[in-house]
Structure 1
Amino acid sequence: MKTFFKILAILLVILALAVVILPYAFKGKIISLAKQEINKQVVAQVDFTDLNFSLIRSFPNFRLSIENLSVVGKNEFQGDTLAFIPGTHLIFNIIDVFRGNYIISKISLDEPRISIWTKSDGKANYDIMMPDSIGTVPQEVPDGSNNFSIHLKKFSIVDGQLTYLDDESKIYLTMKEINHTLHGDLGASRTTLFTQTSCTDLTLQYEESTYLNHVNLRYQSNLDADLDNGIYTFGKNELTINKLKLNFEGSVSMMNEGINLVLTYNAPSTAFNELLSLVPETYLKDYEGLETTGMFSLNGDVKGIYTDESYPSFSLNLAVQNGTVKYPDLPGKITNIGITSSITSPGGILDLVVIDVQGMHIEMGNNPLDLRLKLTTPISDPEIDCTLKAQMDLATVKDYYPIDNTDLLKGTIVADITLKGKLSAIENQQYEQFLAMGSLVLQNMEYSSPAFKNPVVISQAQLNFSPQYIDLVTFGLKTGKSDLQASGKLENYLAYYLKDETLTGTMTVKSNFFNLDDVMDTSTSVDEITTAPTQETGTPASADTSARVPEIPGNIHFVINSTFNHLKYDSLDMSQVTGKILISDKKLWLEDLKMQISGGSMNVSGSYAALTPRTAQTSLLLKLNSLDIPTAFKQFALLRTYLPLAEKATGKFSGSVDFTTSLDAGLMPVYETLNGKGWLSANDLKVTGMNTLVKAAELLHYEELANLTLEKVLVEFKFVDGKLIVDPFDMKYQGIKGTLQGWTAFDGKIGYEMLVEIPRKKLGSDANQLLDNLVGEANKLGANFSIGDNIPFALVIGGTLENPTVSVGPGNGSAKETVKETVKEVINQEIDKVKENLKVEAQKLIEDADKQASALIGEAEKQAAALQQQAEEAKTRLMDEAKKQGDKLIAEGKKNGMLGEMAAKKASATVMSEAEKQGQNGIQEANKQADAIVNTAKASAAKIKADARKKADGM
């Protein structure tokens, strides 16, 4: 027995050690397999910070935890995070691991953040499999080389978040605080799957409509799963959306040709308040406190095969009877709420869907609303049958629906509209085949709210409906002292609503006086916004971090012809404003908007477009004509920001400014993105008391520089990333000539340089005596120059707009020292000029000597060549003469027989040899004479060059 307990103790120790050691023994192999599976053939950046193994928390199984798993897109989705999961936990059976098989039985995801995005071109960020890995036939692999598999028995999500954005289908879905649990044996042939899912915040948008807005969702069900055949049959289940409960019956089957759906659903409860729970809080305030009565029914079915090309049949039926809604603190009750509606389709294509609202009725006291709508063939050729009748006394709304106690609303709305026919009749201009008639009339409406400075009064507005267009017959608005009248037409409105085509329209807007401050909150002025950059970036800060820039719809084309006799906005005061405003292609365009402003006139053209929900971009071209500088300085923040000298200036200016800049969520310029160019011109420009000129005048002891009157100034400039860069421009004033250039940054820093020439007579006797002495000393050195009538100075302006610095010339000394330094500079410049002239003369002397030497050598070489030529020709003549004599001797010798001929040939050879010798001697003598001529010439040329360099060095 003692032996048994010893053996048992040893086994327990071994088991305990195994629990601690085994995870580390297998860690390397499991990490390798995990990374292999995660990264296998994926076009994405998959990463995680750590892998942890444990037997203790999951004994007798392995627990693999992956920390901070992320999947980040590549290529067109570069930097887009598809998934980030702080904790991913996988459970492996320990026996299978010992056998070399890695079978996952459980998966748990902690706080996963999933973002799915499909672009308008159909490309999706979740499509991360490599192209060559899709549809390939698996290759046979050796046993044990890939023993990784998933046989799930539990899957769970804790506090997840899902974002689904489909630009192609225009669907936007968000789900927050997702908790999900799935139990079952997915490795078996048949099993029962138990699921529980909850989401505290779900929003679903389609196109421009929000169908579910921050709803609470819960779902639990039992599914009988035939995993071998792919058939899932609903058991007990319940879906809850806010207070609305739905039950499902039927099955879902996975088939080769698609998904076979046989489902029915219904709402088991009939209490009207459950249906109202789906209405967003924006429209139905204080849901929990509502007093409601009435009944409703909701049911439907889905039957048939779903594929990429075909849809199953489906139906949805909704009815409300005797519904009432009352807010406990209000006297009125909304009564007689009734709805009979359905959405049906026989299946196949969506063009067979029929939307039928047989009737909808609501009463708010004596204010009824009735709607009937039927829509068929919505895709190919929408056919609509609709009537709307409504009458509303706006003053009674507060009795039925809670509005702010500080708001005031009154007036009447009467609508009676009938639309019946096919859209194709309008497209084919067969207007007689489409019935569209009726009107919507608004009379004596008045609305006041703290959001508006003054009450808004619409005396009358009327819209008339016809097949071709909606006619805005009249529209009259007043607020404060402002008035506005408008009329126009909206065309293609049915195709816009039914087929998302372009809505076109023309409108005429007129006003005698309109002050935008009357309808806008101006607690923050334009001046404060445009001239108060942040210290960190120099960019105006937007107060509302949740603000979004206005977005222009992409499927409208409006032309607005506007005339404002007098238009005001904050510091801007404009009159005779006329021009065209175009809204099209997600942009707003200003086309040659003319106005009188700042004592002159201005034409404005440009555009505005939203780039992202929080950023926009604007481009403007301003053409300015004869604007009064003091008035413009008060009205245009751009002048105060970049051209502060305008504050001390009088006169008129003209010009052109063309720039582009991004705008933040508060529609304020992002100065770092400001780029453009322009020019400004002014006549009789007077600048008085400008601090930089005053400081310069003090430094130079020249008071007249503090107050300038410039006859004509032309300034060209550009904006580069928010910095104003002024090109050099000339100025003249009472004999003073100047050139100014530099820059002003959006954060207020400046850097300018002004070059001025001041007449000597303006500098006084002391300065002129100093000049004469310095010039005299310089001329003693042989400079031989005069200082001239004008003295140049350089004014260097730096620092900031609020605290500029000014220095004169190279230093910051007195005027006397500045003059002295300036004259020394001029003297040095003159000496440099003399040196340069002497250098040029010396170089010319050397070059002339080189030419003379080259000519001398060239002539000698020519004479030498002539001598050599003559010697060659003399030799040739001697040889020719010797040959003649030899030939003659041979001829005479032949007469005396063979011996005589032989003697003659020998004598001829002797004559030729002697002639050759004499000719060669002549050539050698000629070469000697030629060499002597060339050498003599070279020696003379060298002397000429040496004499020239010696003379040049002495200059």
Structure 2
Amino acid sequence: MKKVFKIIGITLLTILLLLIAVPFVFQSKIKEIVKRTINENLNAHVEFSDVNLSFIRSFPQAQVSVSDLLITNFEPFKDETLASAKSISLDMSIKELFKKANEGPIVVNEIYLDEALITLKTNKRGETNFDIFKDTEDQPETAQDSSKGFTLDVKDYAIDNSALTYLDESSNMAFYITELNHSGKGTFSGEVSQLDTKTSARVGLKIDSTEYLSNNDIKLDALIGLDLPNNKYTFKENKAYINQLPLEFQGYVQLLEEGQEIDISFENPGSDFKDFLAVIPKTYSKNLDQVETRGNFKIKGIIKGTMTEETIPSLDINMVSNNAGFKYPDLPKRVEDISINASVINTTGNADDTYVDLQTLNFKIDQDVFKSSAVIKNLTTNMTVDANVDGVLNLANLSKAYPIDLDTDLTGILTAKLAASFDMDAIENNAYQRIKSNGNLNIRGFKYASEDLVNPIVISEAAIVFNPGTIKLNKFDASTGKSDITANGTINNLLGFVFSDKKLGGEFQVNSNAFYLSDFMKETASNTKNNEEQTSKTTETFKIPAFLDCKINADAKTVYYDNLTLSNVKGNLYVKDEKAVLRNMSSDIFKGKLLLDGYVDTATTTPTFMMNLDMNQFDISQSFNDLELLQSLAPIASALQGKLNSTIALSGNLGSDFTPDLNSINGNAFAEVQTTEIKPKNEALVSALNNALSFVDFSKLDLKDLKTNLTFENGMVNIKPFNIKYQDINITINGSHSFTNTMDYKAVFQVPAKYLGSDINRLIGKIDDEAVNNLSIPVTANITGTFNSPNVKTDLTSGVANLTKQLIEIEKQKLINKGKDQILELLGGVNNPSTNTNTPKDSTNNTKPTSNPIKNVLDDIIKGNSSKPKDSTNNTKPKSVKDLFNESINKSKKTDSIK
């Protein structure tokens, strides 16, 4: 017995090994068969990653599977994907694999298609991308007719997780099937047979800009009769679901050379109003099991006729409900007195003659009654609409009566009595004479909040009046945060904005008592990283709505922006293409007047701006302390008290908080300062200058009528030379600084000789000439570092040389008539005191050069060791300076002339 089991085990193992090994032997043959079949039948480029043969998965049948199939088109849809599939599996008898061409067709029993994506397309010339099968006469001849070379005797087939898209460019139609799961059983080899199918999917349909189906759930259980010789498919026992609405239908579809003949009728099997709620997608209608309803609802339809390129079947689809109502168990309000009478009709077979007649759509919530009707024609060409609305609607009751998922609760009372008649072509081309509207629309107590808004918008009252050709906003009172807004004006193209992609235009007068920009600029929550103990805070960039095209005449009593308060803001604002253009804007700020023109552009990723500002009589201290731009242009001005007149032209980028990015700013400025007082204790730079240049009291600078020009580019501010005065000392300043406050400035002080101390004054007083009274020396102060940590260095080199040259020139002119030799001797002694033969020597006998006496005195003055200009009576007498200077003059051997 053990031997028998051993033989059986070996036999089974051998068979198993054969079942595993044989497919590898035939693998290449199977690939050749697949490729040959594709090339003989398709005009398309086909790729696949692998073809596998298995005797195990579907034993006792063989399974052939193709992985990662991709089919792309030739011209005129070159390289576009027609179809792709993760896998296609065909189950058949093993003997079918070894059939020869003269032994009859290959019979396939089961087909499985997984994750297929199919895109069917018809272009504007009527060419299709799915016409890829070769004509019969193009295929190679065989012993049998080619049509009998492949037969489906399907016992089972399935399509899982697949999708199909049909795009028709000629009619601007798009049809989508997603999440498609389809299975069926049937026999295709017989001339007359039937197919039992089950299908579920989501369906979308869009024609032009109108979406008729939007991801609607579809289920279909259908028994379809197949009359293959006549290409006729008959629906026998069929039940479908559109969303949750059950439909029973019958009829047939027959394929003709010129199109399809269709004769189908359908209706919902019951008449309960719950069937109407089932039409609404489940996402919005929720669970209907516990909903209490009353009244009836019936939908019936007939589609009959021929579908060709020129015609469609006639349509007669009706939806009727009378005296209906419903209430969801977990909601407090009931919807009552519902009346619906709607039809979709076409009697001619011409698609343009299809129309929708909504005779009645009425309902009531509490005491609010809402009535409407509409007729919509020319659905496929120039759609025309004739609509009427009359009713009152408490918006807060919508979510209390129907399970609407809203991000925020709506409140407000909407009252409308409106009649409108228009066609889409008139809207597209702004043919206002064909757009007729009459009536009014009012809303009170409306409140809307959103994550995109900093604060809820509350409209206390808005009133719109519709007249033929014009729509007027008669009243608009609203608030958000601490801001209030009132407006009135004219609205253009409201219907174009609602029904098409047109921009909303108009001209409005907008007033506000208090307008806070922070109420409209959203700041995201802080994100704290515990590991790094770091907190980051980001601000969303404000975007000007792209749909606006309007003019706004603004008048605001007070506008608050960051730390700035602007009063009596008036001007014009033009909004278009995500750009806001300011014209003739004026405001009171910093105890002066501001005028500005310019624009802000948010169409690009980084917002940009351009502004021309005219500042008149600004309070210097307040404006330079509160306005970051002025702080960056002239930080030292914060130490000044007085008035500023300035014109500034600038452009650059805006940051996420809508403030200028200083490193991107380019432009120029002109400033006129009218100062009354300087407070250097408030400014590190002024204090540093006081310490370095003690002969000037910077608190007493004369800055009256100071004027200067500035340019700024790439983060640098360049100041052209300008002059100020301290008593009778002229000061010239120029240089540049960055917006990060690093400086490179030069200040040249023209110091009169009389301020050089008593020693120098007595020395130059020996020159008996009035010209010495006009002598001055330039003292240069080089200012670097930052405004908070300045570095001031003085340069006397040019000053000493300049004073010496002036003294020599004066004396030369006096002595010119006394002889050439005398002048040369004097020049030699004064200009080169180091030639003095009586120069003292140190104990090492090394010659020690005598320092320039003028420079010594000046150094004392700069360092504060001598008298300041404000105290010329100082009697300090550095005798060494006098002696050295007298020695230089004595060596000239011209003492008589000096006396």
Scaled by the length of structure 2, what TM-score is found?
A: 0.62
CA 1:606–1:142 in structure 2 vs 1: closer, same or farther (change >3 Å)?
farther
Please tell me whether residue 578 in structure 1 is matched to residue 571 in structure 2: yes
CA 1:298–1:628 in structure 2 vs 1: closer, same or farther (change >3 Å)?
farther
- CA separation in 1, counterparts of 2:95 and 2:564? 82
- CA separation in 1, counterparts of 2:550 and 2:233? 53
- CA separation in 2, counterparts of 1:167 and 1:633? 62
CA 1:460–1:753 in structure 2 vs 1: closer, same or farther (change >3 Å)?
closer
Shift of 1:380: 6.8
Match of 2:114 in 1: 110
Percent identical: 24
- CA separation in 2, counterparts of 1:712 and 1:486? 43
1:749-769 residue CA offsets vs partner (Å, 9 max, x unmatched): x9x99877799999xxxxxxx
Does the 8 Å contact 1:593/1:605 carry over to 2? no
Letter in 2 for 1:621: M
Unaligned runs of 5+ in 1: 719-724, 745-749, 763-787, 798-803, 809-814, 817-955
- CA separation in 1, counterparts of 2:550 and 2:279? 35
Shift of 1:601: 4.2
| Equivalent residue for 1:183, pick from 171, 182, 185 | 185
Match of 2:801 in 1: none
1:30-51 residue CA offsets vs partner (Å, 9 max, x unmatched): 4456567779999999765554
Match of 1:55 in 2: 55
- CA separation in 1, counterparts of 2:552 and 2:33? 66
Does the 8 Å contact 1:655/1:678 carry over to 2? no
Letter in 1 for 2:218: L
Letter in 2 for 1:371: S
- CA separation in 2, counterparts of 1:42 and 1:689? 91
Match of 1:193 in 2: 195
Shift of 1:390: 0.4
Please tell me whether residue 679 in structure 1 is matched to residue 673 in structure 2: no
1:425-481 residue CA offsets vs partner (Å, 9 max, x unmatched): 9999997x9985332233x42537697776755443322233323333322324455
Match of 2:22 in 1: 22
Shift of 1:338: 1.2
Please tell me whether residue 510 in structure 1 is matched to residue 514 in structure 2: no
Please list, as runs of the form range in 1=range in 2, the aligned pairs for 1:823-842 lying within 5 A after superposition: none
1:340-387 residue CA offsets vs partner (Å, 9 max, x unmatched): 111101143332123212222211122111222234455677665543
Please tell me whether residue 275 in structure 1 is matched to residue 279 in structure 2: no
Letter in 2 for 1:603: D
Shift of 1:660: 7.5
Match of 1:914 in 2: none
| Equivalent residue for 1:603, pick from 572, 597, 605 | 597
- CA separation in 2, counterparts of 1:55 and 1:548? 65
Shift of 1:251: 0.9
- CA separation in 1, counterparts of 2:45 and 2:733? 68
Match of 2:295 in 1: 294
- CA separation in 2, counterparts of 1:736 and 1:419? 71
1:875-903 residue CA offsets vs partner (Å, 9 max, x unmatched): xxxxxxxxxxxxxxxxxxxxxxxxxxxxx
Match of 1:824 in 2: none
Match of 1:226 in 2: 227
Shift of 1:524: 3.4
Does the 8 Å contact 2:436/2:469 carry over to 1? no
Please tell me whether residue 621 in structure 1 is matched to residue 610 in structure 2: yes
Q: Report SS of the residue matched to 2:338.
A: strand
Match of 1:922 in 2: none
Does the 8 Å contact 1:629/1:646 carry over to 2? no
- CA separation in 2, counterparts of 1:310 and 1:687? 90
Shift of 1:221: 0.9
Please list, as runs of the form range in 1=range in 2, the aligned pairs for 1:244-255 lying within 5 A after superposition: 244-255=245-256
Shift of 1:257: 1.0
Please list, as runs of the form range in 1=range in 2, the aligned pairs for 1:776-791 lying within 5 A after superposition: none
Length, aligned pairs only: 721
CA 1:647–1:139 in structure 2 vs 1: closer, same or farther (change >3 Å)?
farther
Shift of 1:335: 0.9
- CA separation in 2, counterparts of 1:714 and 1:123? 64
Match of 1:97 in 2: 97
Shift of 1:392: 3.6
- CA separation in 1, counterparts of 2:693 and 2:46? 73
Please list, as runs of the form range in 1=range in 2, the aligned pairs for 1:38-53 lying within 5 A after superposition: 49-53=49-53
- CA separation in 2, counterparts of 1:660 and 1:12? 80
- CA separation in 2, counterparts of 1:218 and 1:492? 41
Shift of 1:56: 1.5
- CA separation in 1, counterparts of 2:719 and 2:44? 56
CA 1:158–1:395 in structure 2 vs 1: closer, same or farther (change >3 Å)?
closer
- CA separation in 1, counterparts of 2:72 and 2:589? 55
Please list, as runs of the form range in 1=range in 2, the aligned pairs for 1:555-574 lying within 5 A after superposition: 558-568=550-560
Q: Report SS of the residue matched to 2:21.
A: helix
CA 1:123–1:329 in structure 2 vs 1: closer, same or farther (change >3 Å)?
same
- CA separation in 2, counterparts of 1:717 and 1:78? 52
Does the 8 Å contact 1:439/1:465 carry over to 2? yes
Match of 1:314 in 2: 315
Match of 1:158 in 2: 160
- CA separation in 2, counterparts of 1:676 and 1:50? 58
Shift of 1:226: 2.1
Letter in 2 for 1:248: F
CA 1:636–1:273 in structure 2 vs 1: closer, same or farther (change >3 Å)?
farther
Match of 2:728 in 1: none
Shift of 1:676: 7.8
- CA separation in 1, counterparts of 2:626 and 2:283? 40
Q: Report SS of the residue matched to 1:57.
A: coil
Shift of 1:298: 0.6
Shift of 1:623: 3.6
Match of 1:237 in 2: 238
CA 1:548–1:579 in structure 2 vs 1: closer, same or farther (change >3 Å)?
closer
Does the 8 Å contact 2:284/2:404 carry over to 1? no
Please tell me whether residue 474 in structure 1 is matched to residue 475 in structure 2: yes
Does the 8 Å contact 1:173/1:204 carry over to 2? yes
Shift of 1:179: 1.8
CA 1:60–1:756 in structure 2 vs 1: closer, same or farther (change >3 Å)?
farther
Does the 8 Å contact 1:42/1:129 carry over to 2? no
- CA separation in 2, counterparts of 1:277 and 1:633? 67
Please list, as runs of the form range in 1=range in 2, the aligned pairs for 1:907-922 lying within 5 A after superposition: none
- CA separation in 2, counterparts of 1:163 and 1:434? 36
Shift of 1:486: 2.7
Unaligned runs of 5+ in 2: 724-730, 752-777, 795-899
Match of 1:334 in 2: 335
Does the 8 Å contact 2:523/2:539 carry over to 1? no
Please list, as runs of the form range in 1=range in 2, the aligned pairs for 1:130-149 lying within 5 A after superposition: 139=138, 141=140
Match of 2:441 in 1: 440
CA 1:10–1:689 in structure 2 vs 1: closer, same or farther (change >3 Å)?
farther
After the TM superposition, which of the residue ranges 362-371 and 45-54 deviates more from structure 2? 45-54
Q: Report SS of the residue matched to 2:199.
A: strand
Letter in 1 for 2:195: L
Letter in 1 for 2:667: W
- CA separation in 2, counterparts of 1:234 and 1:186? 16
CA 1:379–1:113 in structure 2 vs 1: closer, same or farther (change >3 Å)?
closer
Match of 1:361 in 2: 362
CA 1:490–1:73 in structure 2 vs 1: closer, same or farther (change >3 Å)?
farther
Letter in 1 for 2:28: G
Shift of 1:397: 6.0
Does the 8 Å contact 1:105/1:150 carry over to 2? no
Does the 8 Å contact 1:566/1:577 carry over to 2? no
1:399-433 residue CA offsets vs partner (Å, 9 max, x unmatched): 645799998876543322234699999999997x9
- CA separation in 2, counterparts of 1:212 and 1:78? 31
CA 1:658–1:487 in structure 2 vs 1: closer, same or farther (change >3 Å)?
same
Shift of 1:305: 1.5
Does the 8 Å contact 1:598/1:631 carry over to 2? no
Does the 8 Å contact 1:104/1:151 carry over to 2? yes
Q: Report SS of the residue matched to 2:364.
A: strand
- CA separation in 2, counterparts of 1:284 and 1:635? 56
CA 1:226–1:475 in structure 2 vs 1: closer, same or farther (change >3 Å)?
same
CA 1:412–1:141 in structure 2 vs 1: closer, same or farther (change >3 Å)?
closer
Please list, as runs of the form range in 1=range in 2, the aligned pairs for 1:693-708 lying within 5 A after superposition: none
Letter in 2 for 1:679: G
Say which structure is richer in helix: 1
- CA separation in 2, counterparts of 1:61 and 1:292? 55
Does the 8 Å contact 2:53/2:63 carry over to 1? yes
